[in-house]
Amino acid sequence: MARFLTGDELGNIKSLTYTSVDGHKTDVQTLYDGSGSGKNKSIQALAVASSVSERGRVVAAAHADGSATVFNLKDSSIELLHEWKETRLRAGQNYVGLDIFQQGIYSCTSNGALRRTVNIEDESLTSQTAVLPMRLSDWRLSSDGSTFAYVGDEVELSVCDVEQIFASKTPPGATASVNGQKRKRRDGLLPGEIWRARNVANDSLSLRQPVHNNCLTYIMPSLSASQHHLLVGTQFGNVRRYDTRSSRRPVADWQKVAKTGGIKAVEKGFHEHEALVTDQGSSVFSLDLRNGRVAYGYKGLSGTATSLAPSPTVLASVALDRYARIHSTFPPAEPGQQQEHKGGVLDTVFMKSTPTVVVWDRDSSNMETNTLDESGGDGEAEDDVWDDMESVQDEGSDVEVDRSKRRELKKARSK
């Protein structure tokens, strides 16, 4: 069983519980009804705490009107704990990032309003604020909570130290006065910024290439404070891989990965060398991080997937066609081998209001093992077919091939 949480355009929070016992089935339950305020409370970001207490697991939601809400989720009940509003959010701007680490909730908006809210399980909240560059499109917190990264429109990938950012009183983009005039700091790192990417090389006409970064993700835990591996998806349909210790330019620039438009979302999968990507058309696919090739794509999708939520067993996606889908996933093939097993759509659920975001509930206590038969591939069903076949005799010998031999032949053929 795997459970996911979704937010929608009316402010509702729903749970999707997928189980493969007695056939594939996804149960939908409304945990929090926020439809009273209409689309003004549309959920733009959701986050779930990795740890759980006796009271439950903390869930945070960011809304289109600038408000943020905190809940305690226990089993199938949800309790509202706190609500506050980001006063720096203006019309036409939106939340681009939300995460929970230990006792703090981190939120970031497209105009660079960064906030850390602590003591979330107490009655009184404490907040710290900082300012990042404007025109942001995505913001992510590292798994250990020590750094965060952001990208945007004409904003290159940057990695910042969390504590230094909140301790600094000089906002990024600050200007230095020289002879009464202001000069923007272009080359040096900003206070709290520990690494910043450089633009890719000029094009064939020696013209500067514009920076239109849509999304990013950390792809592995950091081994040190100075080394991070990240993926960035661009409006031009490229996926770029960065190693902050190796170079300021991408160590790999996989071009035209998207089939339609730019990269909408990118997430690190639970399999080794796996990234999950969706474009601005109707494509969702698995990307091999060793070479940038598409391992497989999912068929039969009709809407643009706006959010992806990997889990140890299955992948969930929500799309503009009001459907939530559960997908099977398989690791990329070994080098030089063909992709034998490909992911498929396990279940499709129509949501009454358009879902905007989906996240895994991070509860691995009741996860099922992902077996090949979940995708319609090899499994017990195929073994049953072999068992039901009659025994045959080889014309060139008198040795009968029994059921066990047939299974051995099948396994040898699949290698």
237 and 332 inside one domain = yes
Residues 308 and 199 in one domain: yes
Give pLDDT, residue 54: 85
One domain, residues 19 and 58: yes
Is the model's pLDDT at 151 over the cut of 60? Answer: yes
Res 398 pLDDT > 50: no
Question: Tell me, what DSSP letter sits at residue 39?
Answer: G
Binned at pLDDT 50, 70 and 90, residue 408 comes out as low
- Phi, then psi, of 201 in degrees rounded to 5: -60, 155
Three-class DSSP category at 395? coil
| In a shared domain, residues 202 and 304 | yes
Across the range 178-182, mean pLDDT stands at: 40
Q: What is the DSSP secondary structure assignment for residue 212, as one 8-state letter? A: B
Q: Is residue 26 included in any domain, yes or no?
A: yes
CA angle 114, 65, 121 (to 5 degrees): 60
Structural domain containing residue 382: 378-415
Q: Is the pLDDT of residue 395 over 80?
A: no
CA angle at 279 for the pair 275 and 285, rounded to the nearest 5°: 40
User: Does 160 score more than 80 pLDDT?
Assistant: yes
Question: In terms of domains, do 298 and 218 share one?
Answer: yes
Name the domain count of the chain: 2
Instruction: Name the phi and psi angles at 35, rounded to 5.
Output: -75, -10
Q: Do both 304 and 349 map to the same domain?
A: yes
Which pLDDT score is estimated for 17? 96
pLDDT for the residue 112: 97
| pLDDT at 141 > cutoff 90 | yes
Same domain, 182 and 288: yes
Q: In this structure, is residue 373 part of a structural domain?
A: no
CATH code of residue 178: 2.130.10.10
Q: Mark whether 302 and 397 lie in a shared domain.
A: no
* pLDDT class of 187 with cuts at 50, 70, 90: low
pLDDT at 71 over 50: yes
Residue 138 has pLDDT above 90, yes or no: yes
- E strands, 75-163, are 77-85, 95-101, 104-109, 113-118, 126-131, 136-141, 147-152, 155-161
Per-residue tokens: 232: 């960035």
What are the residues facing 53 on neighbouring strands?
Answer: 56
Distances (CA, A) of 162 to 98, 104, 116, 156, 168: 14, 12, 10, 18, 10
Instruction: Determine the pLDDT at residue 169.
Output: 65
Distance CA 408, CA 32 (A): 52
Q: Using 50, 70 and 90 to split pLDDT, how confident is the model at 43?
A: very high
Q: Give me the helices (H) in 267-394, please.
A: 380-388
CA distance 48 to 52: 10
Position 118 pLDDT exceeds 70: yes
CB hemisphere CA count around 341 (13 angstroms): 18
Residues 6+ apart with CB under 8 A from 43: 7, 8, 9, 11, 12, 13, 34, 61, 62, 63, 64, 356, 357
- Give the span between the Cα atoms of 86 and 100, in whole angstroms: 17
**Orientation angle between helical segments 403-414 and 380-388, nearest 10 degrees:** 140
Give the chain's mean pLDDT.
86
- Give the phi and the psi of residue 241 in degrees, each rounded to 5: -110, 135
292 and 354 inside one domain: yes
Lowest mean pLDDT across 112-121, 222-231, 335-344: 222-231
List all residues 6 or more positions away from 108 whose beta carbon is below 8 Å from its beta carbon: 95, 96, 97, 98, 114, 115, 132, 136, 139, 148, 150
User: Higher pLDDT residue, 406 or 194?
Assistant: 194
Residues 295 and 386 in one domain: no
> At residue 183, does pLDDT exceed 70?
no
Flag whether 202 is in a domain. yes
pLDDT at 316: 98
Q: Which helix (H) or strand (E) holds 214?
A: strand 213-218
Instruction: Compare 180 and 118 and report the one with higher pLDDT.
Output: 118
The verdict on 70 and 181 lying in the same domain is yes
**How many percent of the chain have pLDDT more than 70?**
83
Q: 172-177 long-range CB contacts below 8 Å, 24 or more apart?
A: 172/112, 172/131, 172/132, 172/133, 173/112, 173/131, 173/133, 173/134
Q: What is the band of 270 on the pLDDT scale with cuts at 50, 70, 90?
A: very high
Same domain, 45 and 101: yes
Q: How confident is the model at residue 397 (pLDDT cuts 50, 70, 90)?
A: very low
pLDDT at residue 113 above 70?
yes
What integer is the mean pLDDT of 193-206?
94
Measured between its terminal Cα atoms, the distance across the chain in Å is 30
- pLDDT of 122 > 80? The answer is no
